[in-house]
Amino acid sequence: MAIKNVGWIGTGVMGKSMCQHLISIGHNLFIYNRTKKKADPLLRNGAEWCETAGEVAQRADIIFSIVGYPDDVKEIFLGNEGILENASSGSIYIDMTTSTPCLAEEIYLMAKDKGLHALDAPVSGGDLGAKEGKLAIMVGGDAEVFEEVLPLFEPMGENISYMGKAGSGQHTKMSNQILIASTMIGVVESLIYAFKAGLNQAKVIDIIGKGAASSWSINNLGRRIEKGDFDPGFFIKHFIKDMGIALDEAKRMNLSLPGLALANQFYIAATSMGYEELGTQGLYKVFQAMNNCHKVK
């Protein structure tokens, strides 16, 4: 791919690392974030600041976004200073936020009417995956547009797949989040059990993390739990948003997902206890309280 001007909206826990990968391979980056201070490291590395999402769209050929909630996506795409009204014909908008499939479909159609292209491309892998360029990237939209921008995805992820029409990326991410939700219950119950049994949690992870119980969650988030590290690779508040989307989609499809519903209730309990700004491994604290366990460290 020829070097093109690239726009980036959202420089949070994951977005800042993903954006940096594109700077590192030589692209001109025009960036916007609601809090400019969070973009300072990228600006020091050569990115150029824009005052609005619309200004990013005016200056870039390809515009990425990764923000918090579907309403944030609507604002940056449809707002008075948004992408739809400011992007040039032929520009490509790639939303990497975990959002609703129906919004991805709406954006695709609205973009098409204006001569733009749109992809939904949510990711999985958390802050570590973003830093190491090892994210899973799930893409919906037109196949030919996906092929055109694939070289931009490759520095960010090692597992990149075109999943189908607009909205397919978001549906795939919902499948991902459903699996993670129930897995996290298993992770924290396993480690609570190990603690109560007087076992060394790190040694438990060493052995069960290499057998049939192995998962990314036990080998990565389990390690953080054992060390007492509850900083966010992915916020609890955002995970609750994702589970809500999945439950809404399940209801629309007349699906019963009791495991997801249970996990959602435990995470809502975490929020009621003031843990919404912790990483998803903060669920451990809920089970600590339920079982009257001392802090790990």
Catalytic-residue membership of 210: no
Phi-psi region of 130 (alpha: psi -120 to 50; beta: other; left: phi over 0): alpha
Summary count for the chain: helices (H), strands (E): 14, 9
Beta bridge partners of 140: 120, 164
Active-site choice (16, 173, 241, 285): 173
Q: Which ranges of the chain would DSSP assign to H, the alpha helix?
A: 15-24, 40-44, 53-59, 70-78, 101-113, 126-132, 143-153, 168-196, 201-208, 216, 222-226, 236-252, 258-272, 283-291
Distance CA 211, CA 185 (A): 18
Side chain identity at residue 253, one-letter code? M
Q: How many CA atoms lie within 13 A of 59 on its CB side?
A: 20
Residues with a catalytic annotation lie at: 173
